[in-house]
Amino acid sequence: MIKHCIFCKIARGEIPSEKIYENDNFFSIPDANPKIKGHSLIISKKHFETLLDLPSTLGTELLDCIKKTVLKLIDKHKSEGFNIVNNNFECAGQAVKHVHFHILPREEGGKVPRVY
């Protein structure tokens, strides 16, 4: 973990958060600055800067966290679909240098938000 990383601080419990779902290596929380209703984040508990740094062996747990989070968000917000967004490196819009995925519950006819 990195001392100054905001997502590492959340993972360590130094910054309180409302967890939507959690397993051994990932957790999900509502986005602090949501682009749309239900906008949430999937975050690795260990510090990996980008998706390329994330070990492939964590793929099953990542998918578990994504699916369980999405199902809860769809139920809570009565969504009809969802987007998953993952930005890697600054030129692609990655603002926090800790791998994370944006989950965006969607409704029919809703505008696709920009998630940088």
Residue 46, CA distances (Å) to 13, 86, 110 in order: 13, 17, 34
How does residue 3 score in pLDDT terms, banded at 50, 70 and 90? confident
Please give the mean pLDDT across all residues of the chain: 94
How does residue 115 score in pLDDT terms, banded at 50, 70 and 90? low
85-112: per-residue pLDDT in tens?
Answer: 999 999 999 999 999 999 999 988 777 6
Q: What is the Cβ-side half-sphere exposure of residue 106, based on CA atoms within 13 angstroms?
A: 14
Alpha-carbon dihedral angle through residues 73, 76, 77, 82, given to the nearest 10 degrees: 20
How does residue 74 score in pLDDT terms, banded at 50, 70 and 90? very high
Q: What is the pLDDT of residue 108?
A: 81
Do 45 and 36 touch, CB atoms closer than 8 A? no
Indicate which residue of 39, 98, 100, 102 is catalytic. 100
Is 47 in the active site?
A: no
Identify which has the larger pLDDT, 78 or 116. 78
Q: What is the pLDDT of residue 12?
A: 95
Structure-block tokens of residue 3: 């001392």
25-37 mean pLDDT: 95
- Rounded to two decimals, the pTM is 0.92
Q: If one looks up domain 6-106 in CATH, what number appears?
A: 3.30.428.10
Domain range annotation of the chain? 6-106
